[in-house]
Chain A
């Protein structure tokens, strides 16, 4: 019999997170700090809009690119929040989460052998999606001394004549790093000079704790070069609704819509109706959640300071990324031991790329009470290790 699976797919390594998940889920009464989604439930007025849409019988497909009303709201939201104007008729595609937008975006941009620059540590899907789309992944190992920001030098060294796309994952999962206006200015210049494109994953944009999030697409001449990806999961605590969007150059959106049309048809109708409400009336909820995350972020940083555990101050998403190199263990060993001995689960940095070695991703999408217990246990663990 011939082999049923594709050789290409077999080359992809399974996500390192999955492996750790299996260990954690066997352990009863462990405190998990390993979750990459909000602990808040979707605000009630948004959920209610979903319920109403069912009651009104809105149970059919929408147009491929998404409800017109939703695209109008996205256009307005992106304009007022991030200062970029997109035409709702042909520059916006509503997708099944930001993750579909990453996949479809890369498939629509890449030719076989095109180089894709991926700064790491970063979200787990960029490299496999790019590989499947024929891209050749060029990894930039981000440096702790730069607070895991992408520097112009690093980018310039990675660009070759074959470079097509730079993935810009800020605010960053897993490090919590952000890129501020001055950082982006220099990156924007190189992108233009070298004639490359950007896939900017800004799913955590609303969770920024230092000034307003700045989008690379808002710089002069960058809108046409950027595929801006955002969604509802993180800002509005809507992970299970599976809804995101991509904004960009109309020729690119047109090609993406083709792939989306043939593989997905349209994003869930229920979620789209709820999302309109989120964009129209959700700013106050976002503010309340952001404030709560920020308090927990300060709490964790203070706890690490008290433990004398090295950790740069992250200003985005809901992760902190402490360094555990002093203990002479790999991230995986450390995380496994921490789980076995103190029943606290944190994800090893290596799940997000080799440059995550020596770090842990700790999520603060948990109540303060839970974080408090977890930090006490972690302190005990570290004290024991230091002897």
Chain B
């Protein structure tokens, strides 16, 4: 039930316990307990909402920044990753295989804010060797959801 439960709430975290229990074919108590366990084990880390900010009047700029760093003796990449992820404007930090080391997602109000963050904060860190900043121009699909999807049912209304 664990895997199925997670895949349901990954798509719809607002589903009520009662509905969830019906879909899984288990009792409400079992469903609720499993959610509590998943939260306690740190498997469920939060409940977020997927927002297409483009459709609002609020200005937001997102950038993906490739960062090359010097790993530190005994601590590898963890210490430098922590220095970066502690900034609240940093939305995600991943350690990446390949041509660079860390992939940082940054969300700010303006392009200028991002530029300032990269030049003032990120590049000046001792172990940062170089950065490459990519601005996101348009989001087509986010968290498995196609943002401009046409959901119209084009099937015939009754078929055998």
Contacts and interface: CB of A to CB of B under 8 A. Distances in A.
30 contacts: A17-B158, A17-B160, A21-B156, A21-B157, A21-B158, A21-B159, A24-B157, A24-B158, A25-B157, A30-B157, A32-B158, A34-B157, A34-B158, A35-B156, A35-B157, A35-B158, A36-B160, A37-B159, A39-B155, A124-B160, A173-B160, A291-B4, A295-B23, A295-B24, A298-B23, A299-B19, A299-B22, A299-B23, A345-B158, A347-B158
> Residue among A17, A20, A24, A298 with the most chain B CB within 10 A?
A298
Closest 7 CB pairs of A and B: A34-B158, A295-B23, A21-B158, A32-B157, A302-B22, A36-B159, A24-B157
A284 to B, nearest CB: 12
**Chain B residues touching A, range:** 10 to 19
Interface of A: 15, 17, 20-21, 24-25, 30, 32, 34-37, 39, 123-125, 173, 291, 295, 298-299, 302, 345, 347, 351, 368
A302 B158 CA distance: 24
Interface in B111-160: 153, 155-160
A39 B153 contact: yes
Contacts of A37: 155, 159
Contacts of B156: 21, 35
Contacts of A17: 158-160
Contacts of A291: 4, 7
Contacts, number: 53
A223 B56 CA distance: 62
B8 interface: yes
A124 B158 CA distance: 13
A173 B155 CA distance: 18
Candidate in B7, B23, B153, B160 with the most chain A CB atoms within 10 angstroms: B160
Contacts of A30: 157
Nearest to A17: B160
Given A35-B155, A295-B4, A298-B25, 7 more contacts: A25-B158, A32-B157, A36-B159, A124-B160, A295-B8, A298-B22, A298-B23
Contacts of A35: 155-159
Contacts of B25: 298
Contacts of A368: 23
Interface string B1-19: 0001001100000000001
Contacts of B157: 21, 24-25, 30, 32, 34-35, 345
Contacts of B24: 295, 298
B120 to A, nearest CB: 43
B15 to A, nearest CB: 9
B158 A20 contact: yes
User: Of A25, A34, A125, A345, which is in contact with the most chain B CB atoms at under 10 Å from its CB?
Assistant: A34
Contacts of A125: 160
Contacts of A39: 153, 155
Given A295-B24, A302-B22, A15 B160 contact: yes
Residue with the highest number of chain B CB atoms closer than 10 Å, among A20, A35, A124: A35
A76 to B, nearest CB: 27
A39 to B, nearest CB: 7
B52 to A, nearest CB: 19
A131 to B, nearest CB: 17
Contacts of A32: 157-158
Nearest to B154: A41
Nearest to A370: B153
Contacts of A36: 159-160
A291 B23 CA distance: 10
B154 to A, nearest CB: 10
Interface in B81-113: none
B1 to A, nearest CB: 11
A250 B64 CA distance: 60
A329 to B, nearest CB: 19
A351 B160 CA distance: 9
B59 to A, nearest CB: 32
B102 to A, nearest CB: 31
